[in-house]
């Protein structure tokens, strides 16, 4: 088991109202990744992923593409120190 990694992802484009958060939440839970995902007031979606690097990479790739009705224009990814969180919440 490798050291966990943590990233904060901000996704811009048509990403609200297209099941983006639910898609991310389900995928994170399936992969055992902790964190959260939420809509921001500026129309973006922000997510935090913490877990195995390979699983986190899969979620970042999912954010770059989004679900079928999303139109991702830009993705910002920032590495952060792991905090040892558990569970995944969608807000």
> What are the structural domain ranges in the chain?
5-90
Catalytic pick from 8, 14, 31, 39? 39
Active-site residue 21, yes or no? Answer: yes
Model confidence at 25, pLDDT cuts 50, 70, 90, reads very high
Active-site residue 39, yes or no? Answer: yes
User: Which 8-state DSSP code applies to residue 87?
Assistant: S
- pTM summary value: 0.95
* CA atoms of 70 and 18, how far apart (whole Å): 6
For the cut 90, the answer to whether the pLDDT of residue 55 exceeds it is yes
- What mean pLDDT is predicted for residues 23-37? 97
* CA atoms of 73 and 12, how far apart (whole Å): 6
* CA atoms of 18 and 15, how far apart (whole Å): 6
Q: Domain spanning 5-90 has what CATH number? A: 3.30.70.100
């Amino acid at each position: 088991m490798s050291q966990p990694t943590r990233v904060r992802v901000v996704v811009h484009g048509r990403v609200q109202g297209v099941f983006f958060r639910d898609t991310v939440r389900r995928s994170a839970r399936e992969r055992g990744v902790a964190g959260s995902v939420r809509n921001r007031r500026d129309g973006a979606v922000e997510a935090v992923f913490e877990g195995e690097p390979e699983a986190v990479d899969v979620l970042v790739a999912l954010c770059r593409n989004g679900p079928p009705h999303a139109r991702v224009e830009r993705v910002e990814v920032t590495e952060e120190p792991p905090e040892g969180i558990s569970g995944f919440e969608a807000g």
